[in-house]
Amino acid sequence: MSIVNIETPQFGQFYNKKFVSAMTNISRMVPQNEPIVSSDYYGNMVYFVTHKFITPYGISSEMSLVRYMVEKNLTYLLVYENHSMVKELKPLFSHDSLKKLDDDFQKLAEYTTDGHSRFHLYRLSSNWTSK
């Protein structure tokens, strides 16, 4: 019988280091009691961002997204560029359309991961919210 010595891999070998850093920073930037409206999210995001994620189902345009957020008293939007769980919102969250969000949202941060995914954190403009 032989014993095999298996070296334990470093944490970063399993996870994209820039992704972990981006999600951790996003979690720190958004006040703890604030949920985040997100175009798309998955297990790793939920693990590293300690906020409740809300998917804006039934939304088909930027204005309907703004109305949705105002009605539900939501302030923060996390966009996973070119991805959306809501089919109708994919065009709004495409690379070419993100600039249009500047009218109603303030961009707080943008992160590009090792896997070339891009995440944008926005705050609903103060003219829409009393926060």
In a domain, 70, yes or no: yes
**Does the residue 6 lie in any domain?**
no
Q: For position 83, which CATH number holds?
A: 3.40.190
Residue 28, H or E segment: helix 17-29
Q: What is the pLDDT of residues 22-41, one digit of tens each?
A: 888 888 999 989 999 998 87
| Listed residue (100, 57, 98) closest to 81, CA to CA | 98
Range of the domain at 32: 21-124
Proportion of the chain above pLDDT 90, given as a percent: 31
Q: Which has the closest alpha carbon to 39: 53, 22, 23?
A: 53
In a domain, 4, yes or no: no
Residue 119 falls inside a structural domain: yes
Q: Is residue 8 in a domain?
A: no
Distance of alpha carbon 128 from alpha carbon 131, whole angstroms: 9
- Total domains in the chain come to 1
DSSP 9: P
Q: Is residue 131 part of a domain?
A: no
12 occurs within a structural domain = no
Q: pLDDT tens-digit profile of 36-61? A: 999 887 767 777 788 888 988 888 88
In a domain, 9, yes or no: no
**pLDDT tens readout for residues 89-118:** 888 888 888 888 888 999 999 998 877 788
